[in-house]
Structure 1
Amino acid sequence: MSAELHHPRPRVATSGARGGGALLLVAVLLIALNLRLGITSVGALLDRMEDDGLPTGVGALLTSLPVLCFAVVGATGMALARRVGVHRGLAVALLLLGLGLVVRVLDGPAVLVAGTFVACSGIAVANVLLPAVVKEHFPTRVGQVTGAYSAVLSLGAAFAAAASVPAADAGGGWQAGLVVWALVALVAFVAWLPWCRVRDAAQGRRGGGHLWRSPVAWAVTAVFGSQSVFAYVAMSWLPSIYADAGFSDASAALHLSVSILVGVPVYFIAPSLAIRLGAQGHLIAVLSTMVATSFVGLAVAPVAGSWLWAVLMGVGGAVFPVSLTMFALRTRTATDTAALSGMAQSVGYLGAAAGPFTVGLLSDATGSWTLPCLLLAGLAAIQVVVGYVAGRPVVIGEESGAVTA
């Protein structure tokens, strides 16, 4: 049996469980706020960057780099936790994020790519470790806390998509619209520091090897991977799809912001609903159908139904917090939660990495967004089927007994 992660609360928080819990929740939400700022800001400014001389190939690489980084670096999340602990691992993640956001605007395309890789490495580690923090510190409120941090994450993504262009205008160039988000990473780092003062009991602990032999774990991984394709295609290319349909850059970016914002209340509610339902298959099916409808709409009527497609995309994206919740629901211990999170995010993002890059290449090759959007709609249909396997009310390793999480 795997050893359970046990994270002792830092000494500064021992004077009151309630105060410590509130402060920890605030810190978790601040970390979540940072997890998409550096990505959607690039999508919002990509056309302007290319107008300023950024090669198209580099632009396509920037859209695929986040998921590639999440796949490669995310796989090291548990190794880092064993070495320095979950809490200090999150501090390292925030340092990498802030450093990368600053470095990537200092020079030309090579430095831009390198800095983006460093920033996304920080996000990748935080992505993997944050569900374990929720499982360990909020075991009776997994749905509420996962919903809260997913909603804050989504709000951050929407805000960066909407504010990056005005920030670039105010700062005299797209570089200002990218580097400003390093300040938010600094705030999160300072807020998280009190939780790094005690040696973490996660150090040296191992577990989760049985997950790789579980069909349910692989189904959770597949659902996470497919929803990642939709999310990063939207963040990378949705403004371009609308711009090519005739909308201004500001209006195209606004469509992305609206798409993300309308999903916020659903992101907040969906994890709690997923827990109440027991089995999550029907919920995943409904949300996936919305995504499929959105992509079909973008393929055949991007102007006439532009706002409807944006709304459906945003609401259907709630498969993301549902999959995060399943990391906890399908596992017994925080160790296994972190292990399933690492498996799903490394393998899932590896499969998703080709998504934005392939969509961009298909669009260039065909001269339109029709074929890429229809293929994405087909992937959403597959997600419906796999979702019923991932959503079975079992604990991985105890499937034969159908033990509910």
Structure 2
Amino acid sequence: MRVEHREPELDGAVELRTPGVVAAGALLAVAVVLTALNLRPAITGVGPMLAEMRQDLGASVVWAGVLTTLPTLCFAGAGLAAPLLARRAGIGVAIAIALAALAAGLVLRVLDGPVVVLGGTLVATAGIALINVLIPVVIKDSFPARIGVLTGVYTAALQGGGALGSAVTPRLGDTLGGWRPALGGWAVLAVVALLAWILAARGTGRAPRPAVGAEGGRSLLRNRLAWIVTAFFGLQAFYAYAAMGWFPQVLMDAGVPRDDAGLLFGLVSLIAVPISLVVAPMAARQRGQSRWIVGLGVFGVAGTLGLMLAPSWSPLLWSILVGLGMSTFSLALTVIALRARTGADTARLSGMAQGFGYLFAALGPFLFGLLHDLAGGWTVPLAMLLGLLAVQLTFGALAGRHRFV
């Protein structure tokens, strides 16, 4: 198929500098940041409390596996449904519904036994999945001249929220008296974000415009570039979820104490914050983003290779390199916004890339663990990740070229 190379039309790229418009834009940006802070604590807060949850609930290992896999599957299913909801309700209403679902799910899952925990997690992570897809549309439509900056800030807040979830939740448990108030307490942050979102919509006189309904019949399923972006997003997510699930154990088996392994993996998450704030805006200002994507990906290759060949030689160095490699997530989100001309296409591309991408990523922790069990060590699963990283670099380079779906 033919892919055009015209510059995208940025409706509203010339900003009206009246105080009211500037204030409304700032309020919407704050709402985006507060929303982003909610997108990971519901997931990362579970890990440190999982042993306590299983003991209190009398739950099995299989239940724990379902609980930890459920978010990724929700990201896939709800991600594919997000454009439909946005077309029918509008983007602003859809995000408000998603935040309400997140808050309700966080409360629901701490009220009763194992089944209720799974049900509440399903509701909460479905809300997160909807927001994952729709926030890039808000950035594209409301801040067309600052896509890189706002995407970087959004991604940094998302990663920072994930680090807060894993670091703060155990302390909340100690202070509040257990895993139930510790995990349920994050609903307060979701309610704050919901209120900020409502105020932002009122401040602008309307919610972010529902551009996703403008070209209702178009599908990207036959678009070659859309599949390239989807493959890039899915490959980087596969690597990230495999790393989040298993790299602490890889470090511990290399002789790193448990607490130090946890700190090192926390560093992996935190590295993405400054990278998102600096690299994503710089990359977005360029005609193409391929060299940035490949450059960060090479760091991931080096870190994974170090873990495979000499894991005990310098765990800190390998963790830093892996963290730099995983920072391609911010560029994956930037690419989604930049490869589409309109908010409508951004919603479709975001839903497609994140829906199919997270569905593929759900296999990451499972395959990594399976290969470890079959091979009796970490060399084979790490070699698998190296092979996938090579493919990721290829698709990332293609996705970063200056083209549009």
Q: How does 1:90-105 map to 2 (within 5 A)?
A: 90-105=95-110
2:162 partner letter: A
Aligned pair in 2 of structure 1 residues 373, 174: CA closer, same or farther (>3 Å)?
farther
1:251 partner letter: D
* Cα deviation digits, residues 242-275 of structure 1 (max 9, x gap): 4444545433332222111122111112222222
Match of 1:305 in 2: 314
Aligned pair in 2 of structure 1 residues 6, 190: CA closer, same or farther (>3 Å)?
farther
Q: How does 1:324-343 map to 2 (within 5 A)?
A: 324-343=333-352
Match for 2:142 among 137, 144, 148? Answer: 137
Match of 2:65 in 1: 60
Task: Kindly state the Cα deviation for residue 89 of structure 1 after the two structures are TM-superposed.
Answer: 0.4
* Cα deviation digits, residues 86-120 of structure 1 (max 9, x gap): 00100111111111112222233222222111111
Which runs of 5 or more residues in structure 1 are unaligned? 8-13, 397-405
Task: Kindly state the Cα deviation for residue 70 of structure 1 after the two structures are TM-superposed.
Answer: 0.8
Q: What is the TM-score with the length of structure 1 in the denominator?
A: 0.88
Q: How does 1:200-349 map to 2 (within 5 A)?
A: 201-202=210-211, 204-207=213-216, 209-349=218-358
Equivalent-residue separation in structure 1 for 2:217 and 2:364 (angstroms): 28
Match of 1:381 in 2: 390
Q: Which sits farther off after the overlay, 253-262 or 363-372?
A: 363-372
Q: Give the 3-state SS of the residue equivalent to 2:220 in structure 1.
A: helix
Match for 1:185 among 173, 185, 190? Answer: 190
2:302 partner letter: T
Equivalent-residue separation in structure 2 for 1:169 and 1:366 (angstroms): 39
Match of 2:22 in 1: 18
Match of 2:82 in 1: 77
Contact in 1 for aligned 2:133/2:350 (Cα 8 Å) = yes
Equivalent-residue separation in structure 2 for 1:362 and 1:60 (angstroms): 17
Q: How does 1:359-378 map to 2 (within 5 A)?
A: 359-378=368-387
Contact in 2 for aligned 1:207/1:336 (Cα 8 Å) = no
Q: Give the 3-state SS of the residue equivalent to 2:311 in structure 1.
A: coil
Does residue 139 of structure 2 align to residue 124 of structure 1? no
1:209 partner letter: R
Task: Kindly state the Cα deviation for residue 351 of structure 1 after the two structures are TM-superposed.
Answer: 1.2
Match for 1:42 among 37, 41, 46? Answer: 46
What's the % identity of the aligned pairs?
45
Equivalent-residue separation in structure 2 for 1:380 and 1:267 (angstroms): 20
Equivalent-residue separation in structure 2 for 1:22 and 1:140 (angstroms): 14
Equivalent-residue separation in structure 2 for 1:245 and 1:110 (angstroms): 36
Equivalent-residue separation in structure 2 for 1:50 and 1:243 (angstroms): 22
Backbone CA RMSD of aligned residues = 2.5
Task: Kindly state the Cα deviation for residue 194 of structure 1 after the two structures are TM-superposed.
Answer: 2.3
* Cα deviation digits, residues 347-379 of structure 1 (max 9, x gap): 111111111233234444555443322211221
2:241 partner letter: Y
Aligned pair in 2 of structure 1 residues 240, 95: CA closer, same or farther (>3 Å)?
farther
Which runs of 5 or more residues in structure 2 are unaligned? 1-8, 13-17
Task: Kindly state the Cα deviation for residue 196 of structure 1 after the two structures are TM-superposed.
Answer: 4.8
Contact in 1 for aligned 2:211/2:343 (Cα 8 Å) = no
Equivalent-residue separation in structure 2 for 1:6 and 1:78 (angstroms): 20
Equivalent-residue separation in structure 2 for 1:298 and 1:64 (angstroms): 24
Equivalent-residue separation in structure 2 for 1:51 and 1:293 (angstroms): 39
2:30 partner letter: V
Equivalent-residue separation in structure 2 for 1:41 and 1:220 (angstroms): 30
Task: Kindly state the Cα deviation for residue 82 of structure 1 after the two structures are TM-superposed.
Answer: 1.2
* Cα deviation digits, residues 41-100 of structure 1 (max 9, x gap): 123333554566542222222232212111111111111111111001001111111111
Q: What is the TM-score with the length of structure 2 in the denominator?
A: 0.88
Match of 2:33 in 1: 29
1:25 partner letter: A
Contact in 2 for aligned 1:5/1:201 (Cα 8 Å) = no
Equivalent-residue separation in structure 2 for 1:350 and 1:173 (angstroms): 32
Match for 2:400 among 388, 391, 394? Answer: 391
2:159 partner letter: S
Q: Give the 3-state SS of the residue equivalent to 1:130 in structure 2.
A: helix
